Amino acid sequence: MIVIYALSGIALNHKNDWNPNYIIEISESSIPLPPDIELNSAEALNYILDRTDQTASYKKHYFPSEGGLKVFLQGGSVLTYNFETGIALLEQLKKRPIFHSINFLHYNPGNAWKWFSDIFCVCLILITISGAIILKGKNGIKGRGWVLILAGIIVPVFLFFIY
């Protein structure tokens, strides 16, 4: 559990640098439409889907502009097509191995997991408190232990006020 929360915590801390849940692959292809196909039509849509092998993944589409098409595909992928240039961009989402699963757990996917996670957190608190008071002498709370406890309080409070 500590490893799951630690890895997903690191991944989520850096979500501005990368997508911890998905790998996004973008591919570009040139698909000129035959002259007998009318732009912004179902026939044009089917032609483009056939050429990109995405017919089976089709969910819905719309025309954001007169010269463009946006197709939503299963799994969160998106196909955009420019009628003027004939360029199709396919953005495919693939679940990132390991991180997608542990981030899912980190976000509390269900009621049972929420309670398990709460119990685990209470256990961590108990371990922390007992660890602080269990040692005696110069390493205990009356020795250098109080300095470590104070540092463990001051550093997060300091960072809280900075951010």
Give me the residue spans of the domains in the chain: 22-95, 109-162
CA angle 21, 25, 27 (to 5 degrees): 165
Q: Cβ(27)–Cβ(81) under 8 Å?
A: no
Q: Cβ(99)–Cβ(11) under 8 Å?
A: yes
Q: Is 76 exposed, middle or buried (0-12, 13-18, 19+ CB in 10 A)?
A: middle
Parallel, antiparallel, or unpaired: how do β-strands 68-73 and 78-82 relate? antiparallel
pTM for the structure as a whole: 0.63
Q: What does the pLDDT profile of the chain (163 residues) look like in tens digits?
A: 788 888 888 888 888 888 888 999 999 999 999 988 888 888 999 999 999 999 999 999 999 988 899 999 999 999 999 999 999 999 999 998 988 888 888 777 778 888 888 898 899 989 988 888 888 888 788 888 888 888 988 998 999 999 8
3-class DSSP assignment, residue 124: helix
How many whole angstroms separate alpha carbon 51 and alpha carbon 29?
A: 9
